[in-house]
Amino acid sequence: MPYHFELLYRASRDGFSSTNFHNLCDNKGSTIIICKLKDNGKIIGGYNPNSWNCNDNEFLVKSEDSYLFYFNNNIILDDDFDKSDDDDEPIIARLANKNYDKYLYNSNYGPTFGTGFDLIIENDIIKCDNITSYPKLLAFINPRQIYFLEDYEVYKVTKNYKEIYEILLIN
């Protein structure tokens, strides 16, 4: 695999705490967040190509690669699978403006994406205040509704240059 994933934080293990999130995830580089919603098994997450940093300030960060995603973890794909329910389609929500995304660097919140607080994790809840940066987010989350988390994990993402080099040599 050309990427390496290192588990930095698991809420069920490390505590559903914004402080614990920042203690374990700040200044680690690119991360992917994977959240499992309580009671329905649906997965919501996001990729941040920049480091998290808890300095109690909000600011815009240049980003062309950040995105949010959704899929239903309860689907079993087989020959009889009926794809008629659009709610079960995996979705990737990319930035509307590829120049900037805002990450809220505040000790009171965990991972936060978007200039309108598009996606916020606060302890054991995930919510959306306003959708401004990721318009496709409307396809899988209702603004101003609170969703409870069963768990969430944060992984550091790094390129595995040795494997990339080996792949290039083979081809």
Which residues 6+ apart lie within 8 Å of 44 measured at CB? 35, 37, 68, 69, 70, 119, 126, 140, 141, 147
Kindly report, residue by residue over 128-161, the tens digit of the pLDDT: 988 888 989 999 999 989 999 999 999 999 987 6
Looking at residue 56, what is its pLDDT? 65
| pLDDT band, very low/low/confident/very high, at 165 (cuts 50, 70, 90) | low
Looking at residue 77, what is its pLDDT? 47
Is 60 exceeded by the pLDDT of residue 99? yes
Is 70 exceeded by the pLDDT of residue 164? no
DSSP string across 4-36: EEEEEEEHHHH-S-HHHHHHHHBT--SEEEEEE
Higher pLDDT, 128 or 108: 128
31 inside domain: yes
> Which among 36-45, 46-55, 111-120 has the top mean pLDDT?
36-45
> Residue range 117-138: average pLDDT?
91
> Residue range 109-135: average pLDDT?
89
81 inside domain: no
Higher pLDDT, 28 or 97: 28
| pLDDT band, very low/low/confident/very high, at 34 (cuts 50, 70, 90) | very high
Domains in the chain: how many in total?
1
Q: What is the pTM of this model?
A: 0.84
Task: Using a pLDDT cut of 70, give the percent of the chain over it.
Answer: 78
Higher pLDDT, 9 or 78: 9
Higher pLDDT, 38 or 108: 38
Q: Which residues span the domain enclosing 59?
A: 3-76+86-170
The one-letter amino acid code at 95 reads L
- Smallest Cα–Cα separation from 128: which of 16, 37, 40, 25? 37
Q: How many residues does the chain have?
A: 171
115 inside domain: yes
- Smallest Cα–Cα separation from 121: which of 137, 103, 136, 139? 103
> Residue range 91-117: average pLDDT?
80
